[in-house]
Structure 1
Amino acid sequence: MTFSRRTYKAFISATLLPLLCGLGQLAESATVTRPEQLIGATREFLEREVADYLQRSQIQARYQVEVNRLDPRLRLALCDQPLTTKLESPAQPIGRATVRVSCEGTAPWSVFVPAQIHLYRDVVVARRPLQRNSTIEAADITLAERDVGLLNQGYLTSLDQALGNKLTRPLQPDQVLPPSQVSPAEVVRKGDQVVITAKNSTINVRMPGEALSDGALGSQIRVKNLRSGRVIRARVTGPGQVEVMM
C-alpha cells in the first residue's frame, strides 16, 4: 500500500503530533507545579480550616469552599517537599480569603491563592416592614439561612437577642437585622412613678420617685425623690424600678 506525500503528512499530523504533544505535557508535568495542584492544595487546606473553626466555635452551619481560577500559564518549579499552606487573611476562614501556598524545598517559592468561603447560618431577619424606634415582637422577626461571610455589619443568631429591643433604623422584609441597629428598649419613661431602692450591705430602703428621663434596663437616669425633693442618679432595674447604691 502506497501513500502520497499529502496523505503521509496528514497521517503524521493525525497520529504522531498528538502523541508528541502528550509526551511534552507529561515531561513538563514532571518538572513544574501546575495551577491545578495549587488549587487542590488550597481547597483541601480550607476545608480543614473551616471544619476546625466550626468545631472550636461550636457552630452549626453548612459551608462551601470556592477557589478562584489561576492563570493557566503559571509555571512553578516542581517542589521536592510537600506543599505548605497558610491562611493569610482574614483571621477566621469566612468570606473572602487568601491562602499562601509555599514550597520549602531546594527551589523555594510562594504564591497567593484567592478563595471564597461561603458559611451559611440561620440569622435573624425581618418578617415584615418595621419602623424606626419600634419595639421588636415575636411576629416581627424570624430565622433564615444566609451567607454570613457577606454580612459585613454583623448578624444575630437567636430571636431572644432581638425580642423586646428597639430598632434604630427601619427594616424591610427579609432584611438581616444587624446588632448595630438594635438598642435596648426603654422600660421607664420620663414622668413615670418609680420605686427607688437605696441599699448597701446592711440597709435596704424604698421610697417613691419620679423619672426625669427615659431609661432602658441597666441604664442610669435622673430621678426625683418625692419625699426629699432631691434629684439623684439611679440605675434602671426593671419597669418602674430604679436602684441607687449607698
Structure 2
Amino acid sequence: MDIKTTVSRRLRSPRYRRLLCTWTALFVMCAGQQARADNVTLPDLLIGVTQGFLEFTVEDYLATTQTPGRYEIQVNQLDPRLRMPMCDQELTATLESPAQPVGRVTVRVRCDGASPWTVFVPAQVRLFREVVTVARPLKRTAIIGFDDVALRERDISQISQGYLTSLDQAVGQKLTRPVVTDQVVTLIHLEQAQVIRKGDQVVISANSGGLSVKMPGEALANGGISEQIRVKNLNSKRVIKARVTAPGQVEVAL
C-alpha cells in the first residue's frame, strides 16, 4: 500500500471527519449571524481547517514512511478581507504541493456546495530529526573519527543536500571541504577514504560464531571502510572477497 492510499484512507477516518464537520458547523453558524451580508469573512476558520488537515497528513507521513522525528506547523495569516459565500457542505482539504508534507506547503480548502469556492492556504511544516553534525572544526581531506561528529536535532526541511542519521555513516569518510562546529554533515561533504591500497599487506579475519581465524593476505584493490575488495590469501594463494574493517584489516564470513 503506497503513502497516498494510506493517507487517503486515514483522512476518511471518523476523527478527521468530525474535525471537518466541526469547522463546517462553525462556518455555517458564523454565516447565519451575518444574515444581511452576502458573504462572510472567515480566515481564522480556514486556518483551523488547514492546521487540522496538516496535523493528520504529517502524522500519517511519519507513520507510513517510518520516519522518526517531531514536527511544527505554522499556517500563514490570510488576508482578513477574504470573503466567500456560506458553504452548506463539509469543507474538504487536500495537499496541493509539494508531494510530501515537509517545508513550504500549500493546502487547498474547497467548498463543493451550492456556491462552490476554493482557497489556497500556505503553511510551513518543520520536521526535526537527529542528524550527524560536526563536533569540532575539521580541515579538508580530514578522515572523520567518532570524536569528530555528534547527533543533534535539526530541521531537515531546511537541508537540501541530504543528511546522515547515524554516526557510522560518517566515521571513516574523508571530507571534501572544511567544516565548522555544529555544521550538518551532508553527502556533498564526504568522499570514501581509501584506508587500504592495492598491494598492501593485510590481516584477513574469518569469523563464525565464537570461532575466529586470522591469516596473512594481500590487497588486490583499493578499499574504504565497509567496502568489499579482492584479497589474496597468502597461505592458500586463493583470491577471495573481503570487507574492509580498518586500515590493514579485512573480514570474511566463514
Q: Do the two structures share a fold, i.e. TM-score over 0.5?
A: yes
Q: Give the 5 Å matches for 1:1-40.
A: 26-27=34-35, 31-32=39-40, 34-40=42-48
Q: Does the 8 A contact of 1:129 with 1:172 survive in 2?
A: yes
**In 2, Cα distance between the equivalents of 1:208 and 1:40?**
67
**In 1, Cα distance between the equivalents of 2:70 and 2:160?**
19
Structure 1 residues 181 and 236, CA, compared in 2 at 3 Å: closer, same or farther?
farther
Deviations 1:120-156 (A, max 9, x none): 2111110101122221111101111111111111211
Structure 1 vs Structure 2 CA RMSD: 3.2
The letter for the 2-side match of 1:109 is W
**In 1, Cα distance between the equivalents of 2:183 and 2:37?**
50
SS at match of 2:57: helix
Kindly state the Cα deviation for residue 170 of structure 1 after the two structures are TM-superposed: 1.6
Q: Which residue pairs with 1:142 in the alignment?
A: 150
Q: Give the 5 Å matches for 1:165-184.
A: 165-184=173-192
Q: Which one of the candidate residues 243, 248, 254 is aligned to 1:237?
A: 243
- Greater Rg by CA: 1
**In 2, Cα distance between the equivalents of 1:29 and 1:186?**
74
* Matching of residue 109 in structure 1 with residue 120 in structure 2: no
Q: Give the 5 Å matches for 1:1-246.
A: 26-27=34-35, 31-32=39-40, 34-193=42-201, 211=220, 214-216=222-224, 217-218=226-227, 237-238=243-244, 239=248
Kindly state the Cα deviation for residue 29 of structure 1 after the two structures are TM-superposed: 7.4
Q: Which residue pairs with 2:19 in the alignment?
A: none
Q: Does the 8 A contact of 2:219 with 2:229 survive in 1?
A: no
SS at match of 1:41: helix
**In 2, Cα distance between the equivalents of 1:168 and 1:28?**
68
Kindly state the Cα deviation for residue 240 of structure 1 after the two structures are TM-superposed: 6.0
Q: Does the 8 A contact of 2:41 with 2:81 survive in 1?
A: no
Kindly state the Cα deviation for residue 183 of structure 1 after the two structures are TM-superposed: 2.8
Kindly state the Cα deviation for residue 32 of structure 1 after the two structures are TM-superposed: 2.8
Deviations 1:39-98 (A, max 9, x none): 111111001111111222333322111011111111111111111111111211111111
Q: TM-score, normalising length from structure 1?
A: 0.70
How many positions carry a matched residue from both structures? 205
Q: Does the 8 A contact of 1:218 with 1:235 survive in 2?
A: no
**In 1, Cα distance between the equivalents of 2:186 and 2:37?**
50
Kindly state the Cα deviation for residue 180 of structure 1 after the two structures are TM-superposed: 2.8
SS at match of 2:78: coil
Q: Does the 8 A contact of 1:98 with 1:114 survive in 2?
A: yes
The letter for the 2-side match of 1:172 is V
Gaps of 5+ in 1: 1-23, 197-205, 227-233
Q: TM-score, normalising length from structure 2?
A: 0.68
Kindly state the Cα deviation for residue 237 of structure 1 after the two structures are TM-superposed: 3.2
Kindly state the Cα deviation for residue 177 of structure 1 after the two structures are TM-superposed: 0.6
Q: Which residue pairs with 1:199 in the alignment?
A: none
